[in-house]
Chain A
Amino acid sequence: MTEALSYFFMSWTDPYLLFLTAAGTFAGIYIGAIPGLSVTMAVSILISFTFKWHVNEALALIAGIYLGGVYGGSRSAILLNIPGAPAAIATALDGYPLAKRGEAGTAIGLTTVVSVFGGFIGIAALAVGAPVLSNLALLFAPRDYLMLAIWGLLLVGSLSGESLAKGLFAGALGVLIGMIGLDPMTAEGRFTYGIVELTGGIPYVAAMIGFFGVSEVLVQLHSLAITPVRQDVTKIIPSWALLKKYLPLSLRCSTIGVFIGALPGAGGDIAALMAYDHAKRTTKNPSRPFGEGAYEGIVAPETANNAAVPGEYIPMLTLGIPGDAVTAVIIGALYIHGLKPGPMLMIETPHLFWFCVGNLFLANCFLLPMGLSGIRIFAKIVETPKAILMPLILVLSAVGTYAIENNPTHIYWMLGFGVVGYFLKMYGYQVGPVILGIILGPLIDVSYRRAMISASDDPLQFLGEFFTSPVSIVLVAALAITVLSQTALWGRITGTGKRAGGYAES
């Protein structure tokens, strides 16, 4: 216990880690708020820069950016009616009407406090839930990992895209890209065509930066001319009475956030939309009708999306399965640092887990003062023209990709994936499932083959084994429900999820 505590406070007592967490949170707020910059983009680029650092330092910076970024999207949603991040789409629905009424300050103050509140609930759930799940995960057979990974791909593909077919295509494409290189079990080359560079596989950081950085930059060039309208900001710190009134709703939405976050594949954007839907259905007398500036309409999504962040960490740290696109990128980072996310992570490196929990806690503490200040400078920074911003992001992407191995061919990969990603996005495909597929592909491959071998290569026995243990049966049920929900049933939930597809990023 004392050991866990000492790891928990590692980033609190080490001045350098403290600084990195603060810097990350601060930068995250702006990255999340500036339309066109996304947390996924920032984290993918950062991984290439921080791979020489100690893993704790890299994680401290990334945790700050992640938490700050998810929150930051709400600011531009309220002030400019442009959600800075997909997780803030629901916030704009009531946030901007509030700003037009001259209540931007109160709205920002309220969202900051409930975001921090949601974050703490999420962190508590992570601290309690992850060790339990990790113990349970030791009972998982390869077939269970196979189902979890496929479930994650299905969820991200179906909830955030234009259609399930497009999500499936993107996920399978990612899995296929992840297969390129030497087969880990037999060292046989797959899709290598005798090219030495291909035997090591596709450089996946280049793929991430291409899909999330370059393609997003190209998409953003379509909307160069949009100039945001600024709102006046007055009183920011919300009154205690106001906070107390929305605490119960905030608590309920935190639960939704953690739960959705912990599902493999479903992230903060879906959590926020579902929480908004929940608030709409359960609030009898909203402060104003929804869509016209109801406080409930900003409290619900903002609590949920910040609660979802620690929620995403649960499957990432215990099962090695990403909760969303950002955690997929973080898993990539953990591999680069020689760690193997999965059930053994908490046994072999318990310090890493408690470090993450403590670090998220710290970042969440920083979020409160940083969220309640600096609004005026903020408006200036957010208005940086895209004509200046986009070339700069591209330089960062290119250099980041180059820096990993000082290899110019990685930049070609980056650009290639960027252009493919651009066309995919333009025609309504999500790139999130592709990256998830690249990360999960090797896991799916190895789990599938181990499960098949243990069923003595007999497909019927292989299918039969899915009904032999409670864990497998639960997972089969979850998979079945996910697929069923894509048919006519559950239209309501998918209906809310589909709205997220309007934004180009997953």
Chain B
Amino acid sequence: MDHPRRRLPGELAFVLILLLFALTALWQAWRISGMSGWSTPGALPTLAALVMLLSGIKIAINTLRMPPPEVEPGRSLARDFLHQITPASIVLFTVLIVAYMFALEPLGFVASSFLFLVLAMFALGERRILRTLGISAVSLACIYIVFQTAFSVVLPEGILKGLLP
């Protein structure tokens, strides 16, 4: 690369995780057939894991050569990581997705999606509550109708069982 960019906060740790993963994958792939032949079920997984390991080492070397991340005085690298890579909005959004996942079956598609949409839009900074409620309701109605008619997808009914067409 002509102009190496600065290393991002957490990038080195991420490469190390990838390397560890590649090593584990190599070990696990090796366990499938070992060195019993060139056309065994374990041959390609072992090769793929080897490619991962080698390219991972190359990436690690490249990453080490990058200028280190700029850390403002008085701020730590960990804080910069939180700020740049996992800002609050993204963490919050991911937590909402997890909650939505678990609510999908017990609450049903319509109720859980409505809650998710309203909360997520609010979390992302859309503060006009009526607008949020309106958009969520209208778009959900559209999705629901399209799903039931065009795609004939069976959605979990949950607490609204029997109330919807």
Contacts and interface: CB of A to CB of B under 8 A. Distances in A.
A427 B14 contact: yes
B93 A457 contact: no
A399 B59 contact: no
> Chain A contact residues: over half helix, strand or loop, or mixed?
helix
Interface residues of A, number: 62
A292 interface: no
Interface string B14-52: 110010001001001100100001110111110011011
Chain A CB within 10 Å, residue with most, of B55, B120, B150: B55
Interface stretch (B72-80, B83-91, B157-165): B83-91
Contact of B8 (A168, A183, A398, A427): A427
B24 to A, nearest CB: 11
Interface in A231-276: none
Given A163-B62, A166-B59, A399-B155, A172 B51 contact: yes
Contacts of A183: 41
Interface string A379-421: 0000001111011101110110011001010011001000100
A398 B98 CA distance: 11
B109 A399 contact: yes
Q: Is the interface of B mostly helix, strand, loop or mixed?
A: helix
A280 interface: no
Contact of B120 (A218, A391, A396, A449): A391
Given A169-B18, A221-B93, A387-B126, A403 B153 contact: yes
Contact of B45 (A168, A176, A221, A390): A176
Contacts of B153: 49, 52, 399, 403
B101 A419 contact: no
B124 interface: yes
Given A165-B62, A179-B48, A462-B38, A218 B94 contact: yes
A59 interface: no
A458 B13 CA distance: 40
B42 A190 contact: yes
A221 to B, nearest CB: 5
Contact of B44 (A186, A444, A462): A444
A169 B43 contact: no
A173 interface: yes
A453 B114 CA distance: 56
Interface in B90-108: 90, 93-94, 97-98, 100-101, 104-105
Interface in B130-157: 132, 135, 139-140, 143, 147, 150-156
Interface residues of B, number: 62
B83 to A, nearest CB: 11
A435 to B, nearest CB: 15
Contacts of A458: 38
A474 interface: no
B93 A449 contact: no
Contacts of B105: 408
A173 B52 contact: yes
Nearest to A406: B154
A50 interface: yes
A311 B4 CA distance: 34
A445 B33 CA distance: 14
A138 to B, nearest CB: 24
A449 B120 CA distance: 48
Interface string A180-197: 000101101011000000
A85 interface: no
Nearest to A166: B59
A222 interface: yes
A415 B104 CA distance: 14
Contact of B55 (A165, A398, A445): A165
A390 to B, nearest CB: 7
Contacts of B45: 176, 179, 190-191
A191 B28 contact: yes
A179 B51 CA distance: 15
A214 B113 CA distance: 16
A426 B15 CA distance: 12
12 contacts: A168-B51, A169-B51, A176-B48, A179-B44, A221-B93, A222-B90, A390-B93, A395-B140, A411-B104, A427-B11, A452-B39, A453-B39
The 5 closest A-B pairs by CB, nearest first: A391-B120, A387-B124, A452-B39, A165-B58, A172-B51
Given A163-B62, A391-B124, 7 more contacts: A222-B87, A408-B101, A419-B94, A427-B15, A448-B43, A453-B39, A457-B38
